[in-house]
Amino acid sequence: MKAGERDVAGALRLLVSELQKDVKEGPGDELTVLRREHKRRIEAAIQFESANRPDLAHREQAEAEMIARYLPPDITDEQLDGIIADAIAETGATGPRDLGVVMKVVMDRAGGLVDGKRASEAVRAALARDLV
């Protein structure tokens, strides 16, 4: 890139490579690849920060922010709660042991617009509330 944005160019090349690899392995899902790479950058930044390497942590964080520009916005908490309530009612879930069944429905309905960890925490909380 003429503007000297070598870090951005490198990150974009890596993303293209990961996307191409995903397509070769089967029916590729671009959002899944982008979310996975975004998560990897965040985790790497945390590891570098804990290893007292702020320079590398900053670079990973910058790449994560660049990848985030290509991701659609996550659904709101209210939308997620509605999806979870519908999934619990549909599956007849009664407690934490039904987490997997509810998560499958939630992730299918959310259509890749929610992080799995966020959804899992919300489902756990909802199933725990139903017990009380």
Domain limits, the chain: 6-68, 77-131
pTM of this prediction exceeds 0.75:
no
> What is the pLDDT tens value at each position of the chain, 132 positions in all?
555 677 778 888 888 888 888 888 877 678 888 888 999 999 999 999 999 999 999 999 999 999 998 888 889 999 999 999 999 999 988 888 889 999 999 999 987 788 888 999 999 999 888 654
CB-based contact 33:22 (threshold 8 Å): yes
Would you say the C-alpha torsion 106, 107, 113, 117 has a positive or negative sign? positive
CB-based contact 119:106 (threshold 8 Å): yes
**Cα–Cα dist 115/75, whole Å:** 9
For the chain, the distance separating the N- and C-terminal CA atoms, rounded to the nearest angstrom, is: 58
- Which of the listed CATH numbers 1.10.3210.10, 3.20.20.70, 1.10.10.410, 3.30.1370.110 matches domain 77-131? 1.10.10.410
Query: Phi/psi at 62 (nearest 5 deg)?
Result: -65, -40
